[in-house]
Amino acid sequence: MFVQTLGRLKPHVSERELAAELATIASHFGVFGKQPRRNWQPRVLPLKDVLVGNVRKLLVVFAFAVGFVLLIACSNVANLLLARATRREVEIAVRSALGAGRGRLIRQLLVESMLMSLVGALGGIAFSWWGVSALLTLAPEGKIPREQLIHLDTRVLVFTIIVSIFASLLFGLAPALQATRGELRETLSHAGTSIAGQRQWLRSVLVVGEVAMALVLLAGTGLFLRTFLRLRSIDPGFHADNDVVMTINLPPRIYRTGQQMLAFHEQVLSRLASLPGVEIAAAVNSRPMGGIFVAGDFKLEDGRKLPEGYMADKLCVSQGYFRAMDIPIKRGRDFNTTDVGGTPSVVIVSDSVARRFWPNQDPIGKRITGIEHPKESDWRTIVGVVGDVHQKGLRKPADPAIYEAITQSEQEAWLIHMNFVVRAAQNPESLMAAMRAVVNETD
């Protein structure tokens, strides 16, 4: 079981001190007044890490990658400015002979590079306006932390302009110095010929730097590509190519009991199933990779103890959920219309649970319960075994899971948040408006 609490630390109290105090408190917790549970492990996490911790490292990597791209682009422009300065040496020498000071010439060349940089910055800002809009439109809901706050503001614009000015000064100064440091007589005497070899060293350094940074980016891209291909090769345990998912959070001030919530869900499921183009409609309280997870331990009827810290994901699903998500039923049956309140409680377990506790037996007919001191009616009979699902993402192993029938649950905590999964016969997007209309008509 997971218990999450939110609090504010007192001044001068560290996270380590809080974690030590919570560990002491947890060591005295008991199970209904009996012996302490040693597998209770409190963790202290800053709220910022909870909100953005899963993408923070990735954003840092992308920031470094963008920085490398900026350096490569600036090095390339600096090299072009050096080549341009070479062609303008005679012009600059003539202007110097006519009385133009070196400082004035350097300022002019820096202004030219700064104008180029600002034009690029304006183009980048214009592209960013479009990019942010496209990102928020295309990104899956809930996958980007605090996405409602993502926008371009004054700080972003000021930062972009400052970086542009700094880059123009940093990479425009060397070409300006290179162009204005030549001797007048030597420059004019070599007019129309190429510059000497010793004047090319800076350009060579820039080329070497560009190649080195490009190789670093190429290596990083290769690592990302390898990770991407490896993740693509992992079977998530389900296939939702033609599925549409609609999430509903019922307002507790209106739906106060589990019976009211269950009645609402059953009406929505019935109307969704009757829509044209719908193959099957189902519901689940915690969809795979949806960011909401419920886990806990359970008891075996034969009295065997679970391994220390062993927990299984606990999900509440409707009839047809496994078919809608293309999760294979490896043994037994799916939930059906007879699995309702007042009848013997049933569950379906994942393949890893069956292999762990009944490796050489048929798990169908075995009984488990999540109640510490169960009555006879608290035991749930296993009626099916389904394939393992990567509930928490492809980077994490598939956790053991226990599925309960939505029609046998009247717990508000299980029913207040529900995901409706609809498998479309053809184009899934064509069903979205009709699905919203079903909810509006039901409520």
Per-residue pLDDT of the chain in tens (443 residues, 90 and over written 9): 556 677 888 888 888 888 888 877 776 665 444 444 555 667 787 877 766 666 777 778 888 888 888 888 888 888 887 777 777 666 777 777 677 677 777 788 888 888 888 888 888 888 888 888 887 777 766 666 667 777 788 888 888 888 888 888 877 777 777 666 655 555 555 554 554 454 577 778 878 888 888 898 899 889 889 988 888 888 899 988 889 999 888 888 888 888 889 999 999 999 999 999 899 999 999 888 877 777 888 889 988 888 888 889 999 999 999 999 999 999 999 999 898 888 899 999 999 999 999 998 999 999 999 888 888 888 999 999 999 999 888 888 888 999 999 988 867 777 888 999 999 888 888 888 888 898 888 87
Report yes or no on 136 lying in a domain.
yes
Report yes or no on 29 lying in a domain.
no
307 and 206 belong to one structural domain: no
What three-state secondary structure class fits 243? Answer: strand
Structure token digits, residue 264 = 């609402």
How many Å apart are CA 67 and CA 90, to the nearest integer? 36
251 and 174 belong to one structural domain: no
Q: Dihedral, CA atoms, 208, 209, 215, 219, nearest 10 degrees?
A: 150
Q: Out of 181, 213, 232, pick the residue that ends a domain.
A: 232
220 and 267 belong to one structural domain: no
* β-strand pairing of 380-386 with 346-350: parallel
Q: Out of 208, 232, 256, pick the residue that ends a domain.
A: 232
Return the closest-CA partner of residue 333 out of 375, 383, 378, 290: 383
Q: Report DSSP letters for 312-369, one per residue.
A: EEEEEE-TTHHHHTT--EEEE----TT--TTSPPEEEEEHHHHHHH-TTS--TT-EEE
Q: Amino acid identity of 380?
A: R
DSSP state letter for 32: T
How many Å apart are CA 354 and CA 388, to the nearest integer? 11
- 51-84 exposure pattern, b = at least 16 Cβ within 10 A, e = fewer: eeeeeeeeeeeeeeeeebeebbebbebbbebbee
274 and 412 belong to one structural domain: yes
196 and 223 belong to one structural domain: yes
How many Å apart are CA 391 and CA 399, to the nearest integer? 7
Report yes or no on 71 lying in a domain.
yes
How many Å apart are CA 27 and CA 37, to the nearest integer? 7
Q: pTM for the complete prediction?
A: 0.69
115: exposed, middle or buried (C-beta count within 10 Å: 0-12, 13-18, 19+)? exposed
Phi and psi at residue 304, to the nearest 5°? -65, 145
Q: Is the sign of the CA dihedral 126, 164, 88, 214 positive or negative?
A: negative
Q: Dihedral, CA atoms, 200, 204, 205, 206, nearest 10 degrees?
A: 110
Domain that includes residue 207, residue range: 48-232
- Rg from Cα positions in the chain: 33
Report yes or no on 350 lying in a domain.
yes
228 and 249 belong to one structural domain: no
277 and 203 belong to one structural domain: no
Decide: 144 and 150 in contact? Cβ < 8 Å. Answer: yes
138 and 199 belong to one structural domain: yes
Q: Out of 232, 256, 277, pick the residue that ends a domain.
A: 232
Q: What pLDDT is stored for residue 271 in this prediction? A: 92
312 and 437 belong to one structural domain: yes
Residue where the block lists tokens 């008991």 = 30
185 and 294 belong to one structural domain: no
Q: Amino acid identity of 197?
A: G
Decide: 306 and 298 in contact? Cβ < 8 Å. Answer: yes
Report yes or no on 35 lying in a domain.
no
Structure token digits, residue 34 = 């009996």
How many Å apart are CA 280 and CA 301, to the nearest integer? 35
351 and 403 belong to one structural domain: yes
Report yes or no on 254 lying in a domain.
yes
Report yes or no on 342 lying in a domain.
yes
284 and 189 belong to one structural domain: no
Report yes or no on 13 lying in a domain.
no
Q: How many structural domains are present in the chain?
A: 2
